[in-house]
Amino acid sequence: MSDPTDKKPVDEVTGTETTGHVWDGIEELNNPLPRWWLWALYLTIIWGIGYVIAYPAWPMISKATPGLLGFSTRGEVARDIDSFREASAARDAQLASADLSTLADDVELNRYAVSSGAAVFRNNCSQCHGSGAAGAKGYPNLLDDDWLWGGDHASIAYTVRHGIRNDSDEDARYSEMPAFGELLEDGEIPALVEYVRQLADEEYDASLASAGEPLFADNCSACHGDAGTGDREQGAPNLTDAIWLYGGDRESLTQTITYSRFGVMPPWGTRLTEAQVQAVAAYVYQLGGGEADTPSN
């Protein structure tokens, strides 16, 4: 403490010691801070120095100083991912060999498949099909009950695994609609458009549609069927339902018939693990359109 002979300046009103600093006749009172508070400050400084040595801290030109402990948030994430992989390895193995048609009986595994499938979907599929799986023009909506290549577990998993109309997987689902602009006479395409609209129960021009009917039978029914109900073996859309992948208005239909369409989906079997393919198939199946599985022999 201070020397008792040293006469401390004291504020008369409050009886508090002053610092001796005076500004325009106003004296600064001295209410000392506890000393341990100062130590706490020094402690934080020491801690700070230690932290800077141990952990990544100072930003350098390309990256920060690494720190002696070798900690990195990237490494932390990688460790987390590894630990989750390890934790779910057993269930992944189970899922990879599971029969998806009876998956729902195993509540635990089904829940795992659907929630991990949701993650796979958001990472890999949502770029085209949308985060809510509602699709877009040219990219099928996976929530409805309309399927080009089949909507049971096995068909969905096959489509995911091999893709559609791609060059990289020889088992990819494949079909190609001719560009009828080169094959049909002038005036025949508008007639076909009207007939297709009649099939789909849309408003149509009756005289043109009746002219389109024989044209449909000659050119389209081989794939789309006599009644226009499509053929899943060839991925030929059902033309009588309310769903259009590229639009059911006259302009879109004219374009589709004239130039054809050629939607491509990459094969995911080479990029995803078998468990991930199964999981994303299970996820897509339960979005709203899943069809009854035909029992396999």
Partner 1 sequence: MADTPPSLYAAREPIFPRRVTGFFRSFKWWIMGLTLGIYYLLPWVRWDRGPNLPNQAVLSDLEHRRFFFFWIEIWPHEFYFVAGLLIMAGLGLFLFTSALGRVWCGYTCPQTVWTDLFLLVERWVEGDRNAQLRLHKSKWNFKKWRLRLTKWVVWLAISVATGGAWVFYFTDAPTLAVNLVTLNAPAVAYMSIAVLTATTFIFGGFMREQVCIYMCPWPRIQAAMMDEGTLTVGYRKWRGEPRGKHKKGAKAAAAAQAATVYDFANLPEADQGSGDCIDCMACVNVCPMGIDIRDGQQMECITCALCIDACDDIMDKIGKPRGLIDYLALEDVPPPPESPERATWKPRPIWQHILKPRTILYTALWSIIGAGLVFALFIRSDIELTVSPVRNPTYVMQSDGSIRNIYDVRLRNKSGDDRLFHLSLTSEETLRIGLEGTETLSVEVPANQTLLQRVYVTARRKDAAASTDRTDLRIWVEDLSTQTRTSAATIFNGKEK
- Which stretches of the chain bind partner 1, using CB under 8 A? 1-2, 6-9, 17-20, 30, 32-38, 104, 130-132, 134, 141, 143-146, 201, 238, 241-243, 286, 288
State the amino acid at position 241 in one-letter form. Answer: D
CB of 51 to partner 1, least distance (A): 19
- Chain-centre distance of CA 108, in angstroms? 23
Where is 125: in which H helix or E strand?
Answer: none
Would you say 2 or 297 has its CB closer to partner 1? 2
DSSP for 40-65 reads: HHHHHHHHHHHHHHHS--SB-SSSB-
In the numeric block, the tokens 């094959």 are attached to 183
**CB nearer to partner 1: pick between 42 and 58:** 42
What stretch of H or E contains 99?
none
The 3-state DSSP class for residue 115 equals helix
Judged by beta carbon, residue 180 or residue 283, the one nearer partner 1 is 283
Distance CA 135, CA 223 (A): 24
Rounded Cα distance, 58 and 62, in Å: 11
CB nearer partner 1, residue 171 or residue 201? 201
- DSSP letter assigned to residue 143: S
DSSP category for residue 231: B
- Least distance between partner 1 and beta carbon 168 (Å): 31
The closest alpha carbon to 282, from 293, 270, 271, 266, belongs to 293
- Whether residue 211 contacts residue 191, with contact meaning beta carbons closer than 8 Å, is answered with yes
Which of residues 2 and 73 has its CB atom nearest to partner 1 in the complex?
2
Q: What is the nearest approach in angstroms of partner 1 to the Cβ of residue 195?
A: 19
Q: Nearest distance from residue 288's CB to partner 1, in Å?
A: 6
CB of 121 to partner 1, least distance (A): 13
Q: How far is the CB of 31 from partner 1 (least distance, A)?
A: 9
Q: Give Cβ neighbours of residue 265 (< 8 Å, ≥ 6 apart).
A: 128, 159, 163, 164, 165, 166
Q: Which of 82, 134, 64 is nearest to 287 (CA)?
A: 134
Shortest Cβ distance from residue 68 to partner 1 (Å)? 23
Q: Which is nearer to partner 1, 205 or 241 (CB)?
A: 241
